Amino acid sequence: MAKVKIKPLADRIVVEPLEDTEEMRGGLYIPDTAKEKPQQGTVVAVGPGRRTDEGELLKVEISTGDRVLYGKYSGTEVTVDGNDYLIVKESDVLAVLG
């Protein structure tokens, strides 16, 4: 896992989606446009947390290196230095895989 040049703000998390392996079903090639997006990845950067209305900082419970599951249509896809990442809010993360 290379050092990422992205520093997320508030309760946002930068996730590197897991690569899907090429699938063959019934001898047919499934093009990239027909494949479903991966819904899990590795956390590569974490923001400091969000502030409450009273100014208290609520830290993010997810750490760099965690493998997480996230919603199918969650976050914003970005490309930095040729690598694809997904920036999601902490609330869009469904689970941390053990």
Domain annotation covers residue 50: yes
Domain count, the chain: 1
**Position 44 pLDDT exceeds 70:** yes
Domain annotation covers residue 76: yes
Domain annotation covers residue 66: yes
pLDDT in tens, 76-87: 999 999 999 999
- Please state, in angstroms and rounded to a whole number, the distance separating the CA atoms of residues 62 and 31: 33
pLDDT in tens, 47-65: 999 999 999 999 999 999 9
- Please state, in angstroms and rounded to a whole number, the distance separating the CA atoms of residues 28 and 46: 40
Domain annotation covers residue 45: yes
Q: Which residue has the tokens 């920036």?
A: 87
- Please state, in angstroms and rounded to a whole number, the distance separating the CA atoms of residues 63 and 53: 24
Domain annotation covers residue 2: no
Residue 19 pLDDT: 76
Enclosing domain of residue 71:
12-97
CATH of the domain at 40: 2.30.33.40
Domain annotation covers residue 6: no
Q: Is 69 in contact with 92 (CB distance < 8 Å)? A: no
